[in-house]
Amino acid sequence: MREIIFDTETTGLDAREDRIIEFGGVELVNRFPTGRTFHHYFNPQGRPVHPDALAVHGISDADLVGKPTFAELAGELSGFIDGAMLVAHNAGFDIGFLDAEFARIGQPRIDPARVIDTLAIARRKHPMGPNSLDALCRRYGIDNSHRTRHGALLDSELLAEVYIELIGGKQAAFSLEVQVEAVVAAGEVEPGVCAARQREHPLPSRLSPAEIEAHARLVAQIGDAAIWREVDPACRGEAAQ
């Protein structure tokens, strides 16, 4: 399963008028980070950064001069998130801005079924809160001391760790779908494949002779209806006799 943990920074709070000025996302596959990221700043095309937003993320109008527009990188961004579940904290905010930006260039809205809101998960799991990203980092012992201001890529990296904890901790990343294949003819195993091995000598039975004899009498008493005749070769042999 492929997931993109992402965050945006914007010029303000109104997706109808304000613009995305930073996008940061990290890729997880089967709940493990792959090391693949997407991080860019965008020129808001004349929309100034609101002072309240500046106080949160510290990205000024001057910082965005010469940066590409969202439209110029929309194809690259779309390719990065294509086919993945999208995970964000207070996802409605970020998805609302992405939908607005895509709508401006004639691209479809993001399917809500692809969206996972970690804030909603946190509120269900910790109803007494607080459930901000910083609070969740403290709760789960995740080092966020280097987070002095909001930043899309840094927040995504922290959120990825929080998300794993929210859905059950590190063990949630272990897949039960373990590949078990036979050893190839050359005696080697394909990389990443766990080969099934058999013991050279079966473990001795833990049943006593008296228990084995009692079981045999019980099977004989039940007759052909005994389920052990289907799974135990010794019982099948007894029936044949």
146 is catalytic: no
Nearest Cα neighbor of 28 from 230, 172, 236, 214 is 172
Work out whether strand 32-41 and strand 85-88 pair parallel, antiparallel, or are unpaired: unpaired
Work out whether strand 180-181 and strand 194-195 pair parallel, antiparallel, or are unpaired: parallel
**Rg of the chain taking only CA atoms, in angstroms:** 29
How many residues does the structure list for the chain?
Answer: 241
**Residue labelled with tokens 């895509």:** 102
Catalytic residue among 40, 57, 89, 150: 150
Nearest Cα neighbor of 59 from 14, 15, 5, 12 is 12
- Contacts of 226 by beta carbon, 8 Å cutoff, 6+ apart: 218, 219, 235
Nearest Cα neighbor of 21 from 56, 51, 45 is 45
Residues with catalytic function: 150
